[in-house]
Structure formats: C-alpha cells, structure tokens
A and B are shown apart, each in its own frame.
Chain A
Amino acid sequence: MDILIVMMIGVVIGAKIFPKKFKRQNEIGQMVCTILLIFAMGLMLGNRDDLMSQLSSIGLVSLVLALGGILGSVAIVYLLTEWLMKPKKRRRE
C-alpha cells in the first residue's frame, strides 16, 4: 500500500511542478532503477545454495504450473480486453 502513496506523491509532483524538459532524465532514472532491481533479484537467486538441486528435482512440475498460469491469464485477458476495452497497439523504442 505504501507503494501507492509514493506513486501518488510522484503523480502530484509530475502534474504540478515537474518541468517537462526533464522528461527524458526521468525515463533514464526509471531504467537505471529497473536494471538495479533485476540485478538484485539475480543476487537473491544466486545466494540460494539449494537452487540448483531444487531445479533438477521439481523444476519441470514448477515450470508447467508457471506456464499454465501465464498462458491461462494471457489468453483470458487478451480475449476480454480485445472484446471490451478497445486496446491500443503500438511499437515503442
């Protein structure tokens, strides 16, 4: 929940006082944070000693269940949003 509060503070600052010319710098800041977060996730994984032994024994079952959840969600959300929400499709970068 505190994450929402932090974001709302950002929204107010962006709408009221943040100079538009620093938009690009703001985006670069977001990218740096993202890369650092992914790196931190890797650190967390690498620190787990049992990761490799777990992967070999329960890896396949875990993967099938993960794919089940992802594919099920993607299929239903795609059908519902195309049907009810008129989504945009645009390539960025």
Chain B
Amino acid sequence: MVLLALSALILGVLWGAFGPDGTPIDLIQIHSDWILYLLMFLVGISVGLHRGIVQRIKEHHVKIFIIPFGVVTGSILGGLLAALLLRIPLNQGIAVASGMGWYSLNGVVLTEMFGATMGSIGFLSNLMREMLSFFCIPIIARRLNYYTCIAPAGATSEDTTLSMIVRYTDEETVVLSVFNGVLCSAIVPVILGLC
C-alpha cells in the first residue's frame, strides 16, 4: 500500500508538472472533494458494520480528549525545540508547527503575521508534515500503537491522512481520528491568534 501510495504521489507530481492540461486527469483534482466524501461514506459503512464500536468509544469517556491534547501540546513543544535549534523567534516556530498539517490556512495566516517568507515556510512545512504523515503512519501502527498513528496527522486526521489511518489501524481508531481532526482544526486558529 505504501508503495502504491508513493507511486500515485510521484505520478501525480510528474503529471502535474509535465502533463498536458485539459485531459480527463484534471477531473480527479477538480473533484477531489467528492472523492473524499465518497471515501468518508465508505469508511462510515465500515464503522457501521463493526458492532460494538459505539460502546468502545463510550467507554473512553473523557479519555477521547487525550489524543487531541497530546497532538496540540506535542506540536507546540516540537515547534519550540525546532525554533531553538534553528535560532528563529520562538513564537514563529510555534506558529508554523501549530498549523498541525493544515498548510493552506497556515500559509495565509503566517504571511499576514510575519511576512511572505514565514508564510511560505508555514505552507511548505505543514505540507511536509502531511506528506511525511502518510509514510510514517504504517511504521507507527507496527512499532508503537494504533492511537499514535493519529499524532503526526494532526489537524488532517479527519480528511487526507485519514485514508492511511483507515488502512493501517482499526475502526475505533478511525472514529477517534475524525474526532481529533475536527477538534484540532478548531484549535489551530486559536493558537495562531496567540502567537
């Protein structure tokens, strides 16, 4: 699956850079929202087929906030350490890392807050986070635990990277992943406002 994903990514980049415009291939990009909806619908069916999952989520109770809490504090701490290492202002490092993979928003907001260069770094860094997440989710599922697969995905764990979490973990983790993504996406603008 990782090989298949990597090939799809490389083929996509090559076609985007060198392929002709106006072919039916463009439809995939234009309608990627609908593909995501279809994926979510099919994932929903998987969750529905899995009896007892609602029960297991209920058993977690307030513990469902553990993962989003860890993702947010981990991103902030990681950004802080990276800023120290890079010798850039701490609030800027935190602002980039607390984008948690949401590159479109982070790029725009950081351009406004700190100028075009920081904006580009915010965009690129969060895009890298999303890409790297794709390829470290299978490793985390094998070496650490299923819940931790949600951590690198951050705010994208409800959409793009969810597909990898669906593939490599179980239905319960998928539900927690969607919950984490929604919550993190809501928190990102708040943290950026505080930087």
Residues of A within 8 A of B (CB): 1-4, 6-16, 18, 20, 23, 26-27, 29-31, 33-48, 54-55, 58-59, 61-82, 84-85, 87-93
Contacts and interface: CB of A to CB of B under 8 A. Distances in A.
Contacts, number: 307
Contacts of B18: 46
A37 B35 contact: yes
Interface of B: 1, 4-5, 8-19, 25-26, 28-29, 32, 35-51, 60, 63, 66-67, 69-71, 73-83, 85-86, 88, 93, 96-101, 117, 120-121, 124-129, 132-134, 136, 140-142, 144-148, 150-152, 154, 158-160, 163-164, 166-168, 170, 178, 182
B48 A18 contact: yes
B160 to A, nearest CB: 7
A80 to B, nearest CB: 5
A76 B44 CA distance: 29
Given A37-B36, A44-B16, A89-B146, A58 B78 contact: no
A16 B51 CA distance: 11
A88 B81 contact: no
A45 B5 contact: no
A59 B77 CA distance: 21
At the interface, is chain B mostly helix, strand, loop or mixed? helix
A78 B145 contact: yes
Contacts of B17: 46-47
B148 A74 contact: yes
Contact of B158 (A3, A9, A79, A91): A3
A23 to B, nearest CB: 6
A77 B150 contact: yes
Nearest to B5: A38
A3 B121 contact: no
A65 B121 contact: yes
A73 B80 CA distance: 12
A79 to B, nearest CB: 8
Contact of B93 (A65, A73, A87): A65
The 9 closest A-B pairs by CB, nearest first: A42-B12, A10-B44, A46-B16, A14-B48, A72-B78, A68-B82, A73-B74, A68-B78, A87-B145
9 contacts: A10-B44, A10-B45, A11-B44, A64-B85, A68-B81, A69-B100, A69-B125, A76-B71, A81-B148
A93 B129 CA distance: 25
Given A62-B128, A73-B152, A45 B13 contact: yes
Nearest to A1: B182
A40 B148 contact: no
A78 to B, nearest CB: 4
